[in-house]
Amino acid sequence: MWESYESQISRKPITQPRIIIHGGAGNIRPETMPPERYQLFRASLLTIISKSHRFLLNPLPDGSLPTALDSATYAVTLLEDDPLYNAGRGAVFTRDGINELEASIMITNPTRWPKRGVGVSGLRRVKNPIKLAAELLKRGGQDLVGKGVAVEDVEGAEGRLNVPSAQGHTHLHGAAAEQLAEAYGLELVDPSYFWTKDRWEQHRRGLEREKAMAELTCSGLHGCGTPAGTASWSSDEFIPQGTVGAVVVDAYGTVCVATSTGGLTNKLTGRIGDTPTVGAGFWAEEWLEELEGQKAGSSSCPAVVLSGALKGLVADCLSTPRMYQLGSSSPKRVVTKRAIAVSGTGNGDSFLRTTAARTVGAIAQFGKESGAVALTKVTGPGGELQRSAGDRWGKTGEGEGGMIGIECIVVYDGDGNAVESRSEILQDFNCGGMLRAWVDEQGVAFMRVFRKDPALAAKYVGEGIPEDPQNWCGEKL
């Protein structure tokens, strides 16, 4: 059955391309986010979402449309190059004052790139970690059989690690990963490229706060009524958990998630977080669902009788312009493919302990929930992440975070032809705010940090206001 549906991939467009990006989540509140700083994020996010959306819709010389993999890599590269975010150029420091970068990428289907998902960590010299992750994924077909690029081919390779290719490995760390980056011709930089004043000051303040906390003689995390904090988190400051991410569905129904980070401020040197760890900070997968009842379709709808999670996503297809109509067919039977990809940001150790991203996928698949419900159960207020913090919630940053994602549903007739499709942008968080932007079904761009709240909308000009991406495709304002 899979072959029948997979053979459709990359032949003809079957759905409307969509994109959502994030620039981190955490203790973002009016007290920790001055309006001037908000405007910097707003201009950056709207510019990057608009450029990435244009990239996604721009046909390639052979007439095909860009893949979700290339589009998500493009978006995250722009985010990594902007020092506002805790990724690439603006990465945070470890306790030892070092930048150690991490990234990952994953796609929902294995047809073109069988490796599907990879993570990289412990990078000190790779300018754009996301490009390394993407390269490792694209080369997966060769790597899986041990025939990838030979590092001996690189000038001056003597005396270095024996890294003939990425092999079938899913996660590569440190020197081995950097050798492959060099072998692939990716740009390496001096570690000083990642030094920024803001991050250095946050690093120093964090260590001082930790020292001050240690000197308090009061018992308990909030014992003296003073603001709580650690070297990595503060109740009265937004210490960037500013990981960046992009989730894209391309015209061919593949969903890709790309995520990149400097990790937690003042993490231990050598710590590996959720961002490069499959299932914790990112996940992408697809599966088929046989529908409970089917009957012959009409020209306008395959008349599917939908079960569980699919109700409300596809069942209302006739009444909404959001459904991507693919022409008439007479299905003998109906099969639905659900694809979902999510990118997380927040306290990575909590994401690791709850395998947060994979849990979203599992709830959607085995719990028969919509992607939106599944994501909220994990990362929404009172969800699994918050629950995992126990009585430390609100005191250490544990459990805090958010996620973005896309669910794409394609309905196939009995001959394996896609007859209808629909995608849904997913987003939720359990903390003060999540920096995010997306393009809706009508091609309108939005940027938001908070939940809908008239008081916050008045304070933060532009919050949630519809924008024409065309107006944001130039350089950052």
Show binding-site residues for substrate. Answer: 271-274, 345-348
CB of 265 to ligand ASP, least distance (A): 9
* Residue 104 CB, nearest approach to ligand ASP (Å): 11
Whether residue 415 contacts residue 330, with contact meaning beta carbons closer than 8 Å, is answered with: no
Distance CA 159, CA 295 (A): 66
User: What own/partner pairs with CB < 8 Å and gap ≥ 24 does 77-81 have?
Assistant: 77/128, 77/130, 77/131, 78/48, 78/51, 78/52, 79/21, 79/23, 79/48, 79/244, 79/246, 79/260, 80/128, 80/129, 80/130, 80/244, 80/260, 81/128
Task: Using CB under 6 A, count the residues that bind ligand ASP.
Answer: 16
Position 285 contacts ligand ASP (CB under 6 A): no
Q: Indicate which single residue of 17, 122, 253, 273 sits in contact with ligand ASP (rule: CB under 6 A).
A: 273
Per the structure block, which two tokens stand in for 38?
Answer: 């908000």
- The distance of closest approach from Cβ of residue 433 to ligand ASP in the complex, given in angstroms and rounded to an integer, is 13
Q: Of the residues 47, 77, 243, 265, which is catalytic?
A: 243
- Residue 264 engages ligand ASP in binding (rule: CB under 6 A): yes
Helices 68-81 and 129-138: angle between axes, nearest 10 degrees: 160
Work out which of 10, 15, 47, 243 binds ligand ASP, going by CB under 6 A: 243
- Print the binding letters for residues 21-60 with ligand ASP: x by CB under 6 A, - otherwise: ---x------------------------------------
Task: Give the annotated binding-site residues.
Answer: 271-274, 345-348
Question: Is 243 part of the annotated catalytic residue set?
Answer: yes
Axis crossing angle, helix 371-379 with helix 356-366, rounded to the nearest 10: 140
Determine which residue in the list 148, 253, 346, 433 makes contact with ligand ASP, applying CB under 6 A.
346
Nearer to ligand ASP, 263 or 469 (CB): 263
Name which of 434 and 439 has its Cβ closer to ligand ASP. Answer: 434
Among 261, 266, 329, 423, binds ligand ASP (CB under 6 A): 261
Which amino acid is residue 453, in one-letter code? Answer: D
Nearer to ligand ASP, 85 or 184 (CB): 85
Task: Give the residues across from 304 on adjacent strands.
Answer: none
Rank residues 272 and 418 by Cβ distance to ligand ASP and give the closer one: 272
How big, in percent rounded to 5, are the helix, strand and coil portions of the chain? Answer: 30, 20, 45
State how far the Cα of 472 lies from the Cα of 48, in Å rounded to an integer: 8
- Distance between CA 341 and CA 359 in Å, rounded? 12
Q: Which is nearer to ligand ASP, 129 or 346 (CB)?
A: 346
Cα distance between residue 442 and residue 278, in whole Å: 33
Residue nearest ligand ASP, CB atom distance: 348
Q: Is 3 exposed, middle or buried (0-12, 13-18, 19+ CB in 10 A)?
A: exposed
Stretch that binds ligand ASP, among 111-119, 168-176, 237-245, 426-434 (CB under 6 A): 237-245
Residue 263 touches ligand ASP, criterion: CB under 6 A: yes
Binding range to ligand ASP, per CB under 6 A, among 73-81, 130-138, 223-231, 235-243: 235-243
Under the criterion CB under 6 A, does residue 229 sit at the interface with ligand ASP?
Answer: no
| Euclidean distance between CA atoms 461 and 128, whole angstroms | 32
**CB of 24 or CB of 117, closer to ligand ASP:** 24
**CB nearer to ligand ASP: pick between 243 and 427:** 243
Q: What is the b/e burial string over 116-128, where b = at least 16 CB atoms within 10 angstroms of the residue's CB?
A: bbbbbbbbbbbbb
Q: Which candidate, 340, 339, 240, 337, places its Cα nearest to that of 282?
A: 340
Report the candidate in 175, 176, 109, 174 with the shortest Cα–Cα distance to residue 143: 176
Contact code string over 103-142 relative to ligand ASP, x by CB under 6 A: ----------------------------------------
Residue 245 in the binding site for ligand ASP (CB under 6 A):
no
Q: Is 86 in the site for ligand ASP (CB under 6 A)?
A: yes
Q: Give least dist CB 263 to ligand ASP, A.
A: 4
How far, in Å, are 96, 156, 404, 423 from residue 345 at the CA level? 23, 38, 9, 22
Please state the closest distance from residue 281 (CB atom) to ligand ASP, in A. Answer: 6
Please list every residue from 347 through 376 that binds ligand ASP, using CB under 6 A: 347-348
Binding mask 307-326 for ligand ASP (x = CB under 6 A): --------------------
List Cβ neighbours of 31 (8 Å cut-off, separation of 6 or more): 236
Does residue 99 touch ligand ASP according to CB under 6 A?
no
Footprint on this chain of ligand ASP (rule: CB under 6 A):
24, 86, 241-243, 261, 263-264, 273-275, 281, 345-348
Task: Give the residue numbers marked as catalytic.
Answer: 243
